[in-house]
Amino acid sequence: MKVSFGPYELDPESATLRKHGTALRLREQAVQVLVALVERPGELITRDELRRRLWNDGTVVDFDVGLNTAISRLRQVLHDPVGSPRFIETVPKRGYRFIASVPKWSSLAVMPFVNQSAEREGDYFSDGLTEELIRACWRIDGLKVAGRATVSRFQKQPYDPIRAAKELGVDSILEGTVRRMADRIRINVHLLNGKDGFEIWAERFDADWKDVFALQDHVTERIAAVLKTRLKAHPPDNRPGNTEAYTAYLKGHFLVKRHSPTNSAKALGYFEEAIQADPGYALSYHGAAVVHILDTLLGASAPCDGMARAEGLLDTGLAIQTDSAMLQNTLGMLRMFQWRWLESEQAYRRAIALEPSNPHPHMMFALHNSFSGRHDEAWQEARTALDLDPVDPMMNFRVVQAAYYARRYDVAIQSARTAIDLAPDFQPPCAYLASALLATGHTDEAWTMTRKAKELGRGLPFCEGGFGYIAGTLGHTAEARDVIADLTARRDRSYGSALPIAWTWLGLGDVDRCLQWLQIALDEHEPYLAAAAVSPIYDRLRPNPIFRRLLRSVGFDL
């Protein structure tokens, strides 16, 4: 399993050490010394232990030279001076100790539970149950849990548990079925050893539908007991008071993950139904707030409307339950796009403290760090999120975005190609690949990729604006002006984002008109102005005093 510390990532299987995704040149002997140290963080690893492990008996002279050379080379690539080490501490005449924090995990994949209910509508419940069990397993001390997107490819298809465990990089597999019969629910659970596929534990749980939460908690407690570990947090004390509220919430949550204008409206209706059925259930307010934020980010709602509605909902939800990672993470996102940086960081850190194994707060905190210019921290959070859910399109995209904002264009290009291979129809990696290619002078491929991104964007304003900027920059003037005409006409009919129009004028080289539209975007409090301090597309504006005043308005000290 890969191990991350600081900006570095060690892969023992491939004997590689990477920094910000770029492989570092190290001989295998040096890598194996590092592996031996990282396997037992905080413990003294004696020189004799290293000799027995890595050097043949009888090569004392070669061993001393080889070990000293390996440690010296490690210190060089890790920028780790012997006098003030961050990673490797020398214990004179005895050995070495790895002093950085390294998480030690056992690991589990909760596979998609199979719906055996008579009604097809039961899919939303089996889907929700899988997510609830993943979230519950995050409360098990020292357990790394594969993310939802990572396991979703096994949904509704047969799989070999040994091969699945190897692909997912986990020790064990939890699988099961769920059947809802009127007001009763039955869950069958099997825990399998990932190395040999043998069953470790199996149990059937039957309960009234109204006791579904107690049932979920009982399953989690049994998993912890079988794995001989403990629950590091108590179950949430805010659960819906009736099953109607929970059913409506699950339906809304099912739809919001499949976001579209139609699903957005339906999801909001379900969340409002859940709130009406039980006004004291905090997560219903969270779900409705997420819908409003997503609609605003996609340009479907004016920020003054969408963000204000989200804020009111989050205020209510947090008044009910402050110790919810989901609510804190969404509060962090809202505050970030409101340019309230300190409050945003506090909320993200709270979310991560509540659920360290949840990839979503790490993913969003990575974006916050990028916007704040803390690129090493952004990279570390993005890689942590990706390690927790390696095939989730957003986790992969956040790595691309972190590298692009840090102007590590080669890493951004490589990461974007990987993300596109995993999800060819997901638009953001295509757009950022086009921008990174443009920045590195690969103009023909940038033009091809930005047209693909435009097609995948299906007319969304920010997708159009990204295309317009590259079209203008590359001299495709007619296409860029078409974007401006279309987006301006939309504003005449209803709300339309000003920022994509500013980008397109910038691509065309008209700085004055770009600044005029940036001022409109500032007046309308457009959330994506949060990227103004770090996005490379604004580099030509940075000396401009008007642009510098804009940055101060967004909360950046110059």
- Assigned domain for 447 exists: no
Claim to verify: residue 137 and residue 110 sit in the same structural domain: yes
CATH of the domain at 245: 1.25.40
- Which residue in the block uniquely carries the two structure tokens 């991350």? 4
The domain boundary, picked from 39, 71, 98, lies at: 98
Tell me: do 496 and 558 sit in the same domain: yes
- Kindly state whether residues 302 and 365 are assigned to the same domain: no
* Backbone dihedral angles phi then psi of residue 407, each to the nearest 5 degrees: 65, 30
Query: What pLDDT does 480 receive?
Result: 97
Asked if 222 and 261 sit in the same domain, the reply is no
Burial of 104 per CB tally in 10 Å (0-12, 13-18, 19+) = exposed
pLDDT at 168: 83
Asked if residue 412 belongs to a domain, the reply is: yes
Per-residue pLDDT of the chain (558 residues; tens, 9 = 90+): 567 787 888 887 778 898 877 889 888 889 989 988 987 888 899 988 888 777 655 554 567 788 889 999 999 999 999 888 999 999 998 999 999 876 555 788 899 888 887 666 667 778 877 887 887 787 777 778 887 777 887 887 888 999 988 888 888 899 989 887 877 888 898 889 888 888 888 888 888 877 877 787 788 788 777 776 666 666 666 667 777 888 888 888 888 877 777 788 899 999 999 999 999 999 999 999 999 999 999 888 899 999 999 999 999 999 999 989 999 999 999 999 999 999 999 999 999 988 888 899 999 999 999 999 999 999 999 999 998 888 788 999 999 999 999 999 999 999 999 999 988 999 999 999 999 999 999 999 999 999 999 999 989 999 999 999 999 999 999 999 999 999 999 999 988 999 999 999 999 999 999 999 999 999 999 999 999 999 999 999 999 999 999 999 999 875
Residue 69 resides in a domain: yes
Residue 355: partners with Cβ closer than 8 Å, 6 or more residues away = 135, 138, 325, 361
CA angle 398, 402, 405 (to 5 degrees): 135
User: What is the pLDDT, as a whole number, of residue 57?
Assistant: 52
- On whether the CB atoms of residues 464 and 486 are closer than 8 A, the answer is yes
Q: Are residues 110 and 210 in the same domain?
A: yes
Give the whole-angstrom CA distance, residue 175 versus residue 199: 11
For residue 50, being part of any structural domain is answered with yes
Q: Where are the beta strands (DSSP E) in 116-230?
A: 143-145, 172-181, 184-193, 199-208
Within-domain flag for 261: yes
What is the pLDDT at residue 329?
A: 96
DSSP 320-357: H-S--HHHHHHHHHHHHHTT-HHHHHHHHHHHHHH-TT
- Cα 245 from Cα 239, distance rounded (Å): 10
Distance of CA 338 to the CA centre of its chain: 20
In DSSP terms, 360 is beta-bridged to: none
Sign, CA torsion 397/162/130/137: negative
* CATH number, domain with residue 131: 3.40.50.10610
Is the residue at 333 inside a domain?
A: yes
Q: What is the pLDDT of residue 238?
A: 66
Statement to judge: residues 303 and 329 lie in one domain: no
pTM of the entire structure? 0.75
Tell the residue number behind the tokens 């952004």, with chain if given: 378
Which single residue is written with the structure tokens 């005029």? 516
Statement to judge: residues 369 and 299 lie in one domain: no
Q: Report the distance separating Cα 213 and Cα 254, nearest Å.
A: 18
Asked whether residue 77 falls in the same domain as residue 139, the answer is: no
Q: Give Cα 453 to chain centroid, integer Å.
A: 21
Check residue 105 and give its pLDDT.
58
Task: Bin 475: left if φ > 0, else alpha if -120 < ψ < 50, else beta.
Answer: left
Distance CA(484)–CA(419), nearest Å, equals 30
Calculated CA dihedral for residues 93, 95, 100, 106, nearest 10 degrees: -160
Among 272, 289, 316, identify where a domain stops: 316
In a domain, residue 231? The reply is no
**Does 111 share its domain with 86?**
no
Q: Identify the CATH number of the domain in which residue 38 sits.
A: 1.10.10.10
Determine the Cα angle at 377 with ends 322 and 34, to 5°. 115
Please check whether residues 20 and 75 belong to one and the same domain: yes
Instruction: Provide the Cα torsion 338, 339, 345, 351; round to 10°.
Output: 20
Residue 12's pLDDT is 78
- What sign has the CA pseudo-torsion 240, 246, 249, 254? positive
- Domain of residue 268: give its range: 240-316
Question: Is 441 within the bounds of a domain?
Answer: no
Same domain? 14 vs 46: yes
Please count the structural domains in the chain.
Answer: 5
For residues 523 and 467, membership in a common domain is answered with yes
pLDDT at 225: 78
Domain boundary among 226, 252, 276: 226
171: left (phi over 0), alpha (psi -120 to 50) or beta: alpha
